[in-house]
């Protein structure tokens, strides 16, 4: 069975912990092989972070637990890739 290979999350987190600690903790979650965390917006108390996670069979429960333990919340799951291989998006006329 092929599981989740890539997930892109929109996460709201407090300033502390920083994205370095967040990325390191997510990197050891079950099924995760790589993590990218990018801060998109900052206000006085929070940061909006785009998190891209890749692996061969990402355990979303484990990912959600790490995020919650860091005091953050998932606003949305913006993209999911599953199956035997990653399929990159292609531009279509609707995207213009």
Q: Which segments of the chain have a pLDDT < 50?
A: none
The reported pTM is 0.89
pLDDT for position 87: 87
Residue 93 in any domain: the answer is no
Query: For residue 66, what pLDDT is reported?
Result: 97
Range of the domain at 79: 4-85
pLDDT of the residue at 95? 81
How high is the pLDDT of residue 2? 65
Whether 42 is in a domain gets the answer yes
CATH number of the domain enclosing 77:
3.30.70.1340
Cα distances (angstroms) measured from residue 11 to each of 25, 47, 53, 71, 88: 15, 8, 13, 11, 22
Q: Could you give the number of structural domains in the chain?
A: 1
In a domain, 48, yes or no: yes
Is 96 part of a structural domain of the chain? no
């Amino acid at each position: 069975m092929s599981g989740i290979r890539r997930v892109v999350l929109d996460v709201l987190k407090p300033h502390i912990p920083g994205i370095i600690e967040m990325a390191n903790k997510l990197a050891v979650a079950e099924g995760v092989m790589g993590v990218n965390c990018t801060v998109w917006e900052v206000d006085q108390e929070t940061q909006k972070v785009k998190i891209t996670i890749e692996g061969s069979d990402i355990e979303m429960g484990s990912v959600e637990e790490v995020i919650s333990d860091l005091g953050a919340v998932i606003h949305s799951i913006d993209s999911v890739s599953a199956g035997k291989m990653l399929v990159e998006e292609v531009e279509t006329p609707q995207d213009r």
